[in-house]
Chains A and B, each alone.
Chain A
Amino acid sequence: MKTYKSLAINTPEELIFGSSPNPVKCKSGLVIGGGLVYPEINFTLPPMSIEESTWHTVEKHYNQIAVEVCNRAKRLKIPGLVVEFEQLPPMTMNPEWGGKITELLQNHLQNFQSESGIPTALRVTVVDLRDADRPPILREGNSWEKTREAFVCAAQAGADILSIESIGGKEVHDQALVYGDLQGIVTSLGSLSWRDMGWLWDEITSIANEYGCISGGDTACGFSNTAMQLAGKGMLPSLLAALDRAASAPRSLAAFEHGAVGPSKDCAYEGPIIKAITGAPISMEGKSSCCAHFSPLGNIAGAAADLWSNESVQNVRLLSGSAPEAFMELLAYDCRLFNIAHKKNEALHLRDMLVDSDIPLNVEALILEPKIVIDIAQAIVNEDGGYKRTKAAVKVAFDAIAKAVSEGRVEIAEMEKSWLPRLGSEIDALPDNEEEALENLKSTYGTLFQPKAYGLE
């Protein structure tokens, strides 16, 4: 296990797209975070059921997508290509299915690379089937065994990078989030989720090492992106979503303390904080992921991206061509802009425009401002353990937001203003020690989780 006690990126100026202190080299020669931003194209099936009888159609879709995406990539002369195959639940429940699509896509990428000379990598993201159990059992049982088997099948089938959107702690976090319970959010992320991340990424890294894959990274998608989406629909205050984002960084960092090397997952908007601490490359998605979901982070998400992703797009026909092909083009042009900015020594200028265009309008964007990212990252490494790190991250994020609001640097809705003092009081009331926080968590949410699943008993 590695414990980060200092930052890899110490100043806001060094936190920039395309460049990371610890780039990752893939088997194909593609270097992620080595100076260029590459597109990471992600796609999914149109509405259809996935079963034995439709498997032929499933493969047909992925074959078509791969051909069209590679053709578009070649035509646009991109410098490198990452493809993410995000498995759908039936493909993880039947690991050999996930393996088949992995092999299919890797074959296409290798043919593409040998014909075009453009280096490629394939990220496979396995579904965390443990989410189906309530309360989650996590470290054993059929759900974990299938999930693990899916990783092995993907690795054997040729995945370059292994990832997951893991869910440990979500059963409590979901409840705490919708109740606006900041203590519940902090403890579920900092104590439960953090522990599960450590255990899980030891397992994933072991598989990656056995099969020569890259142990990529995770995301707090099921936690802070849920918060972001609910805030986007007006169901939660953006303030809460912003604090949830900061609170999610320590648990996502745990993957790197247990063997992950990057790139972290595209939907990990806490990625810049991870990059500042680990120096590892990150994948990010912003306006480019509007095919999958909306967000208040459309431009700023690109500020520190090493891979630029579209999150996921269905294979449906648009006027121009298939949607995956269309988004391949969109990503390619975005990356062209990132890369020419570096070439012309204008990268910081572009980065600052991406940042400054979003932060006045939403506190969720504000906390991704490079200076605030560094402050949050520093607060994290100054502490030990998931709970204290999470508490520290939230405190720094809250203080930054409160200051920016008082200075008029960021807007908040009238309805949210009462939440500032409310959340401030909740932060002040957070227990100093994890034991007390866990006791409180058990008394409020004890029926939702099993301490044994987190190694707490």
Chain B
Amino acid sequence: MGNILEQLAICIERGKVNKDAKFPPALQGQDGADELTVKALDQGYSANDILKKSLMVGMKIVGDKFGAGKAFVPDLLIAAKAMNTAMEHLKVYFESGELKHRGTVVIGTVSGDLHDIGKNLIRMVLKGDGWNVIDLGVDVHADKFVEVISENPDCYIGLSALLTTTMVNMKTTNDVIKSKFPNTKIYVGGAPLSQDYSDEIGTDGYFPDPYSFAQHLSAIAS
């Protein structure tokens, strides 16, 4: 077995949250991300090394598999769950400024629309990928986004809609936000949408799944 950072990366990749977790069956009874993160800190590994050389390595493996159609969403999310469990032990380092989130993403389903599963998937994947996610819920009016952006000026925005009669509210939301914060990047997703629609209404991109959105954010944030 490799060093503790390698073991921790495997726990993330395979979704081994803690010792009590029954999943995956092959790792039953072994330390999970929870225990190994504590041990790694105790052994003197820096929070930054734990995050960058272990947690994010494991997430990238499973994320790349998902992107290549070789893993399902549950595989991605259980890995994200393991990652979030580990990140709880690194919270104090974020608070001190030693570690930084990749950035802040504010997400919500637009006004008049109650669908949320796509948005919720985005939240879970982005959190697992090291982002600070502010989830505004469903039926979110444009002015709510404006309020949150004023508190988080460098954030990215993710808008979700599932109905043809509510996707029009994405344009309204985009226009309201950009009239006050012209440099804020706004991205859209949802079944009736497309890149063409995103271009038409002036948003900054369309993503058909949470992983491609996460990859894009990683690319522009780095």
Question: What is the interface of chain A, defined by CB distance below 8 A to chain B?
Answer: 44-50, 88-90, 127, 129, 131-132, 134, 174-175, 178-181, 226, 229-230, 233-237, 293, 314, 415, 425
CB closest residue in chain A, given B164: A47
CB closest residue in chain A, given B167: A47
A-B contact pairs, 17 of them (CB 8 A): A48-B168, A49-B165, A49-B169, A88-B163, A89-B163, A174-B116, A175-B120, A178-B77, A178-B120, A178-B121, A179-B74, A180-B74, A181-B74, A230-B73, A234-B72, A235-B72, A415-B71
Q: Are B113 and A235 in contact (CB under 8 A)?
A: no
Tell me whether B69 is interfacial, beta carbon within 8 Å.
yes
Q: Are B73 and A236 in contact (CB under 8 A)?
A: yes
Q: When the two chains form the complex, which single residue of A49, A90, A178 contacts B74, counting CB atoms closer than 8 Å?
A: A178
Tell me whether B78 is interfacial, beta carbon within 8 Å.
yes
Tell me whether B117 is interfacial, beta carbon within 8 Å.
yes
Q: Mark B125-142, 1 if CB is under 8 A from A, else 0.
A: 000000000000111000
Contacts of A48 in B (CB 8 A): 165, 168
Q: Are A236 and B74 in contact (CB under 8 A)?
A: yes
Contact of A179 with B112 at beta-carbon distance under 8 Å, contacts A49-B168, A233-B209, A314-B164 already known: no
> In the assembly, what is the distance between CA of A88 and CA of B124, in Å?
28
> In the assembly, what is the distance between CA of A150 and CA of B6, in Å?
57
Contact of A132 with B138 at beta-carbon distance under 8 Å, contacts A178-B77, A178-B121, A233-B209 already known: yes
Q: Scan residues 33-77 of chain B and give those whose CB is less than 8 A from a CB of chain A.
A: 69-74, 77
Contacts of A179 in B (CB 8 A): 74, 77-78, 81
Which interface residue of A48, A179, A234 has the most chain B CB atoms within 10 A? Answer: A179
Contact of A134 with B137 at beta-carbon distance under 8 Å, contacts A178-B117, A179-B78, A226-B117 already known: yes
> In the assembly, what is the distance between CA of A226 and CA of B162, in Å?
12
Contacts of B70 in A (CB 8 A): 415
> In the assembly, what is the distance between CA of A89 and CA of B114, in Å?
8
CB closest residue in chain A, given B139: A132
Tell me whether B166 is interfacial, beta carbon within 8 Å.
yes
Question: What is the interface of chain B, defined by CB distance below 8 A to chain A?
Answer: 25, 69-74, 77-78, 81, 112-114, 116-117, 120-121, 124, 137-139, 163-169, 172, 191-192, 209
> In the assembly, what is the distance between CA of A49 and CA of B113, in Å?
11
CB closest residue in chain B, given A46: B164
Q: Are A50 and B116 in contact (CB under 8 A)?
A: no
Contacts of A229 in B (CB 8 A): 191
> In the assembly, what is the distance between CA of A44 and CA of B73, in Å?
31
Which interface residue of B74, B192, B209 has the most chain A CB atoms within 10 A? Answer: B74
CB closest residue in chain A, given B138: A132
CB closest residue in chain A, given B74: A180
> In the assembly, what is the distance between CA of A313 and CA of B49, in Å?
53
Report, nearest first, the 9 A-B pairs whose CB atoms are least far apart: A180-B74, A235-B73, A131-B114, A47-B164, A49-B168, A174-B117, A132-B114, A88-B165, A89-B112
